[in-house]
Amino acid sequence: MVTVHFEKNNTTRNVNSSAKTLALLLKELGLNPETIIVTRNNEVITEDEKISADDTLEILSVISGG
Amino acid sequence: MLCHKCDRKAVIVLQHSGLCDAHFLAYFEEKVEKTINKFRLIDRADSLCVAASGGKDSLTVLYLTKKYLLRYQLPCTLFALSVDEGIKNYRKSTLRDLKTFCTKHEIDLHIISSKEEFGYTLDQAAPKIKKLQQKKACNICGVWRRFLLNKYAKKYGATKVITGHNLDDEAQVVLMNMFKANTTLMAHLGPQSGVEEHEQFASRVKPLYFCTEKETRLYALLKKFDVSFTECPNAQEGLRAYVRDMLNDVEARYPGTKQGIINSFLNVMPLIKEREMKKPQQLNMCLVCGEPTNNDVCNACKIKEALDGMSRGAKKVEVSPKKTSLKPKRVLIITKTKSEKKKTNNEKKKNIK
- Residue bearing the bigger pLDDT, B241 or B258: B258
How deeply is B340 buried, as exposed, middle or buried, from its count of CB atoms within 10 A (0-12, 13-18, 19+)? Answer: middle
Q: Where are the beta strands (DSSP E) in chain B?
A: 12-14, 17-19, 47-51, 77-84, 108-113, 160-162, 203-205, 284-285, 292-293, 316-319, 330-333
pLDDT of residue B349: 56
Q: Give the best-scoring range by mean pLDDT among B137-151, B165-179, B232-246.
A: B165-179
The rounded radius of gyration (Å) of the Cα atoms in chain B is 23
pLDDT of residue B350: 54
- Average pLDDT (B305-310) is 85
Within-domain flag for A42:
yes
Within-domain flag for A20:
yes
- Residue bearing the bigger pLDDT, B337 or B76: B76
Instruction: State the greatest distance between any 2 C-alpha atoms of chain B, in Å, as a whole number.
Output: 86
Q: Domain total for chain A?
A: 1
pLDDT-above-90 percentage for chain B: 59
pLDDT of residue B324: 33
Could you give the 3-state DSSP secondary structure of residue B266? helix
| pLDDT tens digits along B114-133 | 999 999 999 999 888 888 88
Within-domain flag for A66:
no
Domain range annotation of chain B:
12-166+206-236, 284-352
Beta strands A56-61 and B47-51: pairing type? Answer: unpaired
CB contact under 8 A, B231 and A44: no
| pLDDT tens digits along B173-197 | 999 999 999 888 888 899 998 766 6
pLDDT of residue B292: 86
- Kindly state whether B11 is in contact with chain A, defined as any CB-CB distance less than 8 angstroms: yes
Q: How many CB pairs under 8 A join A and B?
A: 62
CB contact under 8 A, A34 and B251: yes
- Average pLDDT (B227-240) is 77
Could you give the 3-state DSSP secondary structure of residue B301? helix
- What residues make up the domain containing A10? 2-61
- Average pLDDT (B89-95) is 86
Average pLDDT, chain A: 92
Q: Which fold has domain B12-166+206-236?
A: Rossmann fold (3.40.50)
CATH of the domain at A22: 3.10.20.30
pLDDT of residue B307: 87
| pLDDT tens digits along B100-118 | 999 999 999 999 999 999 9
CB contact under 8 A, A65 and B229: yes
Within-domain flag for A31:
yes
pLDDT of residue B231: 74
- Which residue of chain A comes nearest to B1, CA vs CA? A48
Q: What is the ipTM of this complex?
A: 0.96
- Average pLDDT (A33-52) is 95
CB contact under 8 A, A33 and B55: no
- Residue bearing the bigger pLDDT, B277 or B29: B29
B209-235 core/surface letters (b: 16 or more CB in 10 A; e: else)? bbbbbbbbbbbbbbbebebebbebebb
Q: Which of B12, B235, B251 sits opposite A46 (nearest CB)?
A: B12
| pLDDT tens digits along B135-156 | 888 888 989 999 999 999 999 9
Distance of alpha carbon B158 from the chain centroid: 17
pLDDT of residue B266: 96
Within-domain flag for A49:
yes
Q: Which pLDDT band, with edges at 50, 70 and 90, does B309 fall under?
A: confident
